[in-house]
Structure 1
Amino acid sequence: MTTAPIALITGGNRGIGRSTAIELARDGVDVIVTYRTNEAEAREVVAETEALGATGRALRLDTSVVAGFAAWTADLKDVLAGLDREGIDLLVNNAGTGLQQPFAETTEAQFDAMVDVHLKGVYFLTQGLLPLINDGASIVNVSSGLARVSHAGSSAYAVVKGGVEVLTRYLAVELGGRGITVNTVAPGAVATDFRGGAVRDTPEINAAIAAISPFGRVAVADDIGTAIAGLFASRSRWVTGQRIEASGGMAL
């Protein structure tokens, strides 16, 4: 009997992470999702993946606190052992928060918070997980269309996402010897509860974004989840170090 591949998705309890977990489960991939505060949401995702025939697990993780990564990774190893696994086949670095603040008003504390969760956290969590990432595995780092298109008020968020895209290229070079692919998926604006649900719940913002997409609408989480899951399912072993923008052609 062939063991199903297993994925670890940070921030998998809602939005893009949740959609990715469910899409992977539909493809026969077992999933471990992390959450920071909302365990109930994470348990719901696990239930949905298991209803699709996959194995699901949920673990609490604050990706902004590097000091906790070693102990957390040991816990992950125990979970994998309980599933008769030694490592993971897909890592999706998705967890994060947003910041809408003009450059002139951005504080050092706000900037540091963006760095901690989106760049430092991704860097050192991935580093700590290297012994548990199987040879031939895939890593997907979630960036943003704002690393390409500039919108006032997003400088701190966009800067760290740009750093993630550079990190992706370096990881592709350094991990290529193990057959590990590393790519960036960069969503455009998505109608989720990110940034307080501004894109989803503000008609003016929603309409403005829809106006610059060839499809004439704003993305929903499933548009991005299918893109991430599809990249893994395609077994595109010769695609690595790339930035794949999943923005519906926004601002071409």
Structure 2
Amino acid sequence: MPEPLLEARGVVRRFGHVEALRGADFTAYPGEIVGLIGDNGAGKSTLVKILSGADQPDEGQILLDGEPVRLDSPHVAREHGIETVYQDLALAADLDPSANLFLGREILRGGFWGRLGFLDKKAMAREASEAIVRLGVSLKDDAAVVADLSGGQRQSVAVARAAMWAQKVIFMDEPTAALGVVQQRGVLDLIRRVRDQGITVVLISHNMQQVLQICDRVEVLRLGARVARLDTAGTSVEDLVAAMTGGTVKEHQ
């Protein structure tokens, strides 16, 4: 195996008397899709928040490219090349896709008008269009506001935004939830294309069939700790369920 790209070692997170993470470990390698699964209350959301800078651990260590890092905020995580696609997508419904891709990273016009805060909408539209084409995203109308797009297209815009800015890792939280079969297939294909660009994808999902279909490996949390690391080749849904619930399952990596 190559050297890990992103690691969590012995991460502990307490909320009062509740210990959400009990020395949790996690490893993601360069250029892979790794699934992060676990039953409700296993600690997945807490671990992802810590790895994406939205929360901080009480104990433990985060390493990026083998070096310890402090991800004090989502902004710091983004500076380290880590992006997150949340389940609610965090899109501005009244803006078009290109404006959403540059949300918070707008390009200003040059000279006097830029100093006054005027945006270079043509430059943003051009770069957004190039990113969308590069990822193979199909939108019915590039100028339509996000509110007028289908669920699958909105999800694609959110993924494209993350892929446009991520340099190392993208976390995707239930990216196919509430989508139809055809839309799910489109989003999964998009995730593969993101991986093929050299970006590591961490997929958080309750859909075990999809996890086995798209992921290279799976890491399983139970009661706030990692309990299994599995290659998807030769692994069944029953193996994943057994790992999540405390049954017997062979571990391999």
Give the TM-score band, short-chain normalised.
0.3 to 0.5
Say which one has the larger Rg: 2
If each structure's strand is expressed as a fraction of its own residues, which one has the higher value? Answer: 2
TM-score normalized by the length of structure 1: 0.32
Tell which has more relative contact order, 1 or 2 (C-alpha 8 A, sep 6+).
2
If each structure's helix is expressed as a fraction of its own residues, which one has the higher value? Answer: 1
